[in-house]
Amino acid sequence: MSSSVSGRTSSLKMVSAASARLRLLLLLLICVNLTPTASTERQLDVQEGAELAKSRKRVFPETHPPGPNSARDPYSYCNTPNGSEQAWEGHSPADYRLLSVQVMIRHGDRYPLYTIPKTKRPAIDCTLSASRSPSHPLLTSYISHMGLGGRAKWEAPLNSVPRIPNHSSCEVGELTQTGVVQHLHNGQLLRQAYRHHSVLPSDWSPHQLGVETTSRSRTVQSGLAFLYGFLPDFDWGRVSVRHQWSTLFCGAACDCPARNRYLEEEQRRQYRLRVADRELEKTYADMARTVGVLTRHLRAANPIDSLLCHLCHGLPFPCASAGGGNAGKCLTMEQFAVIRRQQRDDDLDRSRVGLYRKYATLAMHPYLNQTATKMERASREGARREEVFSLASGHDITISPLLSALGLTEASFPRFAARVVFELWRSPKQTKKSSSTGERSKGKGGGLFIRILYNGEDVTFHTAFCRSHDRHAGQPLCPLENFLSFVRRDMFGIVNATSYREACYGR
């Protein structure tokens, strides 16, 4: 009996020690970003594994200060669904009218894009079940409604993409049930935020709703989950889903040689810094020996992507497969800590050099210009046929440059199911005092104002175009004109140009 008790006590101590190690690892975690080169933007998942891993780089700094909602919260990147999130979308001064909303989302939680050689793949079920956690009150009706999706208008090649994840053993990059629930939650948050504003009327026409996505199944399915949370049981016959071949959502304006040069220079800078880090190289060599592969194969397999999946789903870190000489050996939190330390060093160096900000400016100008044009159209009186609610479903490599182009240098790296929201507001008609005669004259229709929110937080006055704006009680929002001037001219100052064409091709 005593030996049995002793054995159980020993087991409990081992479990407790493992739990403590995992908690320490969580505290070390700060979100990681992985960004492909321009040559892989159109084929994110075509070459999985080592070849794709070679081209995905970290090129966005995480400099958000510590706080309860920052990326230094170890659970921030995973974005585990819960009901406590605050959403400040839809808030405005009294009597202001909401004219349009444009939303850019990152896809939800996904299965890793990379497999660490000679380790077991994480066991995750990618079918949907309302009885499995995490779940959502809308999940059952969502699954049923997706079966009617053939009634919508789909741009090729989207019509062949499955509308819900459906593999009992997740495939590479596949959206998980967690990812679906994250966006059902996001859509429902915005439904509640805008329920009193009627930005999209109950009798909305197909012209008033815009949905576009890349062709990856995880972005298509994330967009549909968000849309269902926002418009439960929506009429498929009124929905058209547009295809974006580029992760930058640049449409017909994607050709920009200077943008590609800035990205290549940034990646060379990153490579030089990484290979000069002896501690990092030693750590990769140790990790490779642990699982029994060559160091270059371990690095190409991008262990961070797999480690994050294990972390977000509460799974132990990968271990060497049974049957080999390394059976039972596992990757450790100490190894992860070294990788994360090097990434922090890279963040500081990247900010100092500034190449990524130049890349981001040219990468996201087409999307920002399209956003500005939609706002102008929605602001016209009687704009019944204009797109007043737009949803774009992209990737971390979509939102990262978008944040940087806006000048949001302290924004945390895009977590799973991150969202950026652009709101257009009109102030009420008001009288204004003439500075010369003291007479009062009628305002034509109230001013136009913009709000930008990131994961529910108002970041408008942290943007490059409104950071220096004199905000006061009489004008608590940022004038739309600031944004228009920024997108059409001012944002190119960072690359010593005055237009997109000049910035891309030179004078």
Instruction: Give catalytic residue positions.
Output: 107, 396
Of how many residues is the chain composed? 507
Q: How far is CA 208 from CA 43, 221, 319, 349, in A?
A: 31, 21, 51, 44
Say how far apart CA 413 and CA 49 lie, in whole Å.
23
Residues 6+ apart with CB under 8 A from 66: 72
Contact between residue 238 and residue 209 where contact means Cβ atoms under 8 Å apart:
yes
Query: Of 178, 221, 202, which Cα lies nearest the Cα of 82?
Result: 178
Residues 6+ apart with CB under 8 A from 117: 291, 293, 297, 298, 301
Contact between residue 64 and residue 398 where contact means Cβ atoms under 8 Å apart:
no
- Record the tokens describing residue 305, joined without a space: 């992507």
User: What sign does the CA torsion over 138, 144, 147, 148 have?
Assistant: negative
Contact between residue 229 and residue 221 where contact means Cβ atoms under 8 Å apart:
no
Listed in sequence order, the DSSP H helices in 418-457 are none
Give Cα 457 distance to the centre of its chain: 14
User: What sign does the CA torsion over 285, 291, 294, 300 have?
Assistant: negative
Contact between residue 167 and residue 179 where contact means Cβ atoms under 8 Å apart:
no
Residues 6+ apart with CB under 8 A from 457: 69, 88
Strand-pair partners of 441: 432
CB neighbours (10 Å) of residue 198? 12
User: What sign does the CA torsion over 221, 222, 227, 233 have?
Assistant: positive
Kind of pairing between the strands at 56-57 and 35-36: antiparallel
Say how far apart CA 54 and CA 296 lie, in whole Å.
10
Query: Of 299, 301, 374, which Cα lies nearest the Cα of 342?
Result: 299
**Residue 134: cis peptide before it, omega within 30 degrees of 0:** yes
Element (H, E) at 423: strand 419-426
Say how far apart CA 192 and CA 154 lie, in whole Å.
28
Contact between residue 288 and residue 303 where contact means Cβ atoms under 8 Å apart:
no
